[in-house]
Amino acid sequence: GAVVSQHPSRVICKSGTSVKIECRSLDFQATTMFWYRQFPKKSLMLMATSNEGSKATYEQGVEKDKFLINHASLTLSTLTVTSAHPEDSSFYICSARRPGTSGSYEQYFGPGTRLTVT
């Protein structure tokens, strides 16, 4: 159990276009999902927290108008990179939070989406 999928796994787009990345929790409901960005050989940087039915909470320095997040259902969150530029090229990873044992929460990560903007 606790499988999270992302689609697409890879995408190449031209500068100025928008790209949508989907994150789905396949076998559990996730009221909260997270979006991370990872540069080559670097760590994951949290971009935003996506809450079902409400606006996402963005981390400092992340442009909310550029990275649109929609969490329309308990199993789906989407990240749209608007007017993409080459510097937006990166590996984007989502995770979904599920209650674990003893009141703690565990995050389950998707396989990631490699975005290349040309």
Query: Which ranges constitute the DSSP H helices of the chain?
Result: none
Q: Residue length, the chain?
A: 118
CA proximity to 84, closest of 1, 5, 6, 11: 11
Q: Could you give the CA distance from residue 30 to residue 105 in angstroms, rounded to a whole number?
A: 11
Which positions touch other proteins (CB under 8 A)?
4, 6, 32, 34, 36, 41-46, 49, 91, 93, 95, 104-112, 114
Residue with smaller CB distance to other proteins, 65 or 104 = 104
Residue with smaller CB distance to other proteins, 49 or 82 = 49
Residue type (1 letter), 104 = S
Residue 76 Cβ vs other proteins, minimum distance, rounded to whole Å: 17
Residue 88 Cβ vs other proteins, minimum distance, rounded to whole Å: 18
> What is residue 59's DSSP assignment?
P
Residue 48 Cβ vs other proteins, minimum distance, rounded to whole Å: 10
Residue 55 Cβ vs other proteins, minimum distance, rounded to whole Å: 15
Residue with smaller CB distance to other proteins, 16 or 100 = 100
Residue with smaller CB distance to other proteins, 32 or 82 = 32
> Quick one: tokens of 57?
């909470």
Q: Could you give the CA distance from residue 113 to residue 104 in angstroms, rounded to a whole number?
A: 28
